């Protein structure tokens, strides 16, 4: 946490940049107010970098456009109805929004926007006090009507208005509370948490697209656990991601198993650690994090209490994959994300057979082939899924996975495993067998692919012999 003087010094450096100084002069010349607001001001106090330049003004959207057009390389209307105009100035993208208030009426999913005339009123309608601090430009005056600086110092998330009013104006702020608790490492105010619990059902008024965006932002933070726990404890997760609280399975005195909910959160934390330390994925990796969080959601549906105090979850990988794809479709994730997460969950148990006996090269090839372009994510997910406190067991699993990764790398080097294909292609198959495109070609291709996986590359001559023998026996 920076001192006020240090934060002002950082903000002074920002205000001196070409983009901000040109904008400040232009608005002052036009007779309008301008203030840097929200994230950039907050992050100056937290000594964090920021990529956003957000401003607020008493000018209307049309007036904003007229002011920025002469000093910018480009301008675009990203939400005129919400009062927001964007522009590129001196190579920097800026967003300028008219003072406003938002509220949802009559159970609608879209807010009703009313433009205002006061900076203080605009700040007091914002989500949290730590985001309700502004810097007037070019005067370099801090404006903090809600006590946001004090809350920054205390590491506290609090709403400028009553939490009931704030969350009532925009229920998505409840999910933003979860995200900021993780992103900033701040403690949510007790009154705000109580309001979240009481108003959880109002999240249904928010469009699925906005819920998706906020959930994704939370998962992309460095430490999403605290925010996810807030969503579960407040009851919001039961509405937007019900599979997560469903992992809190009851444990009776006769049947014992690990806490699946806490295990899943730990797997997510460990996956993030591997994601960063291995450095092979672009971080943050949303697909990996979704798969880590949801990898065991098939367990509640497959839970069986067996004799001797054993609890089983047979086929929870397959069931979980289907449930995850269904939920992600409902949350409007794109098809590639849905398919990748589903595949990772379906495959996440496959490795554990490796520790029961040495796999043949064929089995290792199949493992890598089935993972395809998700192999690195599968490596991470499988490693992260080891949460046992038994150090000997954890080491044994870790050494086993080191071994399978080494074997995959060796086979890839020897055989170009990343592009495993039969030794003959479709055109060659049709020419050799004298057949036209159709089912027979597909079956012949699959025969050769299985041969390739079982025996490795055998060359075109031997592949031709084996194909002709298979075809003769088949017919």
102 pLDDT tier (thresholds 50, 70, 90): low
Under 8 Å between Cβ of 449 and 421: yes
Token pair for residue 298? Answer: 């098939």
Say whether 204 sits in a helix, a strand or coil: helix
Beta bridge partners of 37: 134
Given this model, what pLDDT does residue 303 score? 85
Given this model, what pLDDT does residue 188 score? 97
Under 8 Å between Cβ of 173 and 167: yes
Query: Which domains, and CATH codes, for the chain?
Result: 1-154 (3.30.460.10), 156-240 (1.10.110.30), 247-419 (1.10.3210), 426-474 (no CATH)
Given this model, what pLDDT does residue 219 score? 98
Distance CA 385, CA 404 (A): 16
Given this model, what pLDDT does residue 255 score? 43
Cα dist from 66 to 61, 69, 90, 407, whole Å = 9, 6, 17, 64
257 pLDDT tier (thresholds 50, 70, 90): low
Most confident range, picked from 102-111, 268-277, 449-458, 460-469: 268-277
CA 448 from chain centre, in angstroms, equals: 39
Beta bridge partners of 35: 56, 136
Given this model, what pLDDT does residue 309 score? 67
What average pLDDT score do residues 153-179 get?
A: 95
Q: Which residue has the tokens 């480009």?
A: 74
308 pLDDT tier (thresholds 50, 70, 90): low
What average pLDDT score do residues 450-471 get?
A: 88
29 pLDDT tier (thresholds 50, 70, 90): very high
pLDDT mean across residues, the chain? 89
Model confidence pLDDT, tens digit, residues 425-439: 889 999 998 988 888
Cα torsion through 70, 72, 73, 79, rounded to 10 = -110
Distance CA 449, CA 451 (A): 5
Q: Which residue has the tokens 């079956």?
A: 443
Model confidence pLDDT, tens digit, residues 311-331: 778 889 999 999 999 999 999
Model confidence pLDDT, tens digit, residues 442-455: 899 988 988 887 88
CA proximity to 157, closest of 230, 207, 102: 230
Q: With 90 as the cut, is the pLDDT of residue 305 above it?
A: no
What burial class does residue 310 get, using C-beta atoms within 10 Å of its C-beta: 0-12 exposed, 13-18 middle, 19+ buried? exposed
Beta bridge partners of 27: none
Q: With 90 as the cut, is the pLDDT of residue 332 above it?
A: yes
CA proximity to 324, closest of 225, 213, 236, 247: 247
Say whether 425 sits in a helix, a strand or coil: coil
Given this model, what pLDDT does residue 109 score? 55
Given this model, what pLDDT does residue 394 score? 85
Given this model, what pLDDT does residue 254 score? 40
- The neighbour count for residue 47, using CB atoms within 10 Å, is 11
Model confidence pLDDT, tens digit, residues 393-424: 888 888 888 988 988 888 877 665 555 678 88
Distance CA 182, CA 180 (A): 5
What average pLDDT score do residues 29-51 get?
A: 91
- Percent of the chain whose predicted confidence (pLDDT) is above 90: 63
Q: With 90 as the cut, is the pLDDT of residue 221 above it?
A: yes
Q: With 70 as the cut, is the pLDDT of residue 37 above it?
A: yes
Distance CA 369, CA 418 (A): 8
What average pLDDT score do residues 346-365 get?
A: 81
More confident residue, 129 or 424: 129
CA proximity to 161, closest of 173, 149, 175, 178: 173
More confident residue, 451 or 204: 204
Alpha helices, H only, 297-390: 299-302, 316-330, 335-347, 361-371, 375-384
Model confidence pLDDT, tens digit, residues 46-83: 988 777 899 999 999 999 999 999 999 999 987 777 78
Alpha helices, H only, 200-281: 208-219, 225-234, 237-240, 260-278
More confident residue, 214 or 78: 214
More confident residue, 401 or 224: 224
Token pair for residue 354? Answer: 């490796």
What average pLDDT score do residues 370-396 get?
A: 91
CA proximity to 268, closest of 351, 341, 187: 341
Given this model, what pLDDT does residue 33 score? 96
Distance CA 26, CA 75 (A): 15
Q: What is the DSSP string of 130-144?
A: GG--EEEETTTEEE-
Q: Which residue has the tokens 């985001």?
A: 131
Alpha helices, H only, 253-315: 260-278, 286-294, 299-302
Given this model, what pLDDT does residue 359 score? 81
Which helix H or strand E contains 36, and what residues bound it?
Answer: strand 34-37
More confident residue, 304 or 261: 261
């Amino acid at each position: 946490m920076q001192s006020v003087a240090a934060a002002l010094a950082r903000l002074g450096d920002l205000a001196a940049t070409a983009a901000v100084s040109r904008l400040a002069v232009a608005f002052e010349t036009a007779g309008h107010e301008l203030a840097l607001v929200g994230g950039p001001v907050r992050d100056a106090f937290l000594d964090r970098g920021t990529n956003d330049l957000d401003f607020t003004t008493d000018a209307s959207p049309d007036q904003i456009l007229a002011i920025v057009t002469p000093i910018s390389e480009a301008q675009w209307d990203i939400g005129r109805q919400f009062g927001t105009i964007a522009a590129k100035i001196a190579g920097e993208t800026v967003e300028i929004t008219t003072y406003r208030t938002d509220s949802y009426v009559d159970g609608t999913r879209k807010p009703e926007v009313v433009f205002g005339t006061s900076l203080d009123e605009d700040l007091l309608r914002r989500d949290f006090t730590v985001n309700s601090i502004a810097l007037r430009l070019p005067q370099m005056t801090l404006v903090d009507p809600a006590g946001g600086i004090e809350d920054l110092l205390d590491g506290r998330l609090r709403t400028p208005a009553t939490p009931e009013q704030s969350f009532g104006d925009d229920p998505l702020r409840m999910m933003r509370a979860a995200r900021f608790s993780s992103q900033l490492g701040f403690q949510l105010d007790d009154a705000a948490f109580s309001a979240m619990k009481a108003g959880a059902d109002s999240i249904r008024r928010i469009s699925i697209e906005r819920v998706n965006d906020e959930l994704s932002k939370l998962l992309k933070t460095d430490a999403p656990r605290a925010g996810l726990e807030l969503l579960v404890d407040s009851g919001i997760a039961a509405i937007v991601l019900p599979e997560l609280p469903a992992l809190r399975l009851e444990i009776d005195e006769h049947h014992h198993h690990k806490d699946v909910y806490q295990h899943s959160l730990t797997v997510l934390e460990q996956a993030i650690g591997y994601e960063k330390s291995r450095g092979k994925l672009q971080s943050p990796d949303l697909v990996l994090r979704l798969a880590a969080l949801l990898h065991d959601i098939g367990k509640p549906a497959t839970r069986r209490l067996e004799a001797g105090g054993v609890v089983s979850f047979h086929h929870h990988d397959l069931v979980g994959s289907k449930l995850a794809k269904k939920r992600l479709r409902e949350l409007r994730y794109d098809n590639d994300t849905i398919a990748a997460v589903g595949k990772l969950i379906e495959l996440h148990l496959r490795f554990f057979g490796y520790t029961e006996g040495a796999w043949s090269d064929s089995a290792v090839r199949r493992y890598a082939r089935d993972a395809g372009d998700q192999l690195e994510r599968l490596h991470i997910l499988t490693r992260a899924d080891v949460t046992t406190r038994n150090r000997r067991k954890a080491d044994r699993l870790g050494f086993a996975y080191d071994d399978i990764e080494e074997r995959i790398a060796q086979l890839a080097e020897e055989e170009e495993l990343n592009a495993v294909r039969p030794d003959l292609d479709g055109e060659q198959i049709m020419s050799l067998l004298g057949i036209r495109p159709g089912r027979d070609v597909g079956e012949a291709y699959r025969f050769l692919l299985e041969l390739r996986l079982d025996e490795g590359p055998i060359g075109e001559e031997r592949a031709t012999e084996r194909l002709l023998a298979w075809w003769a026996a088949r017919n």
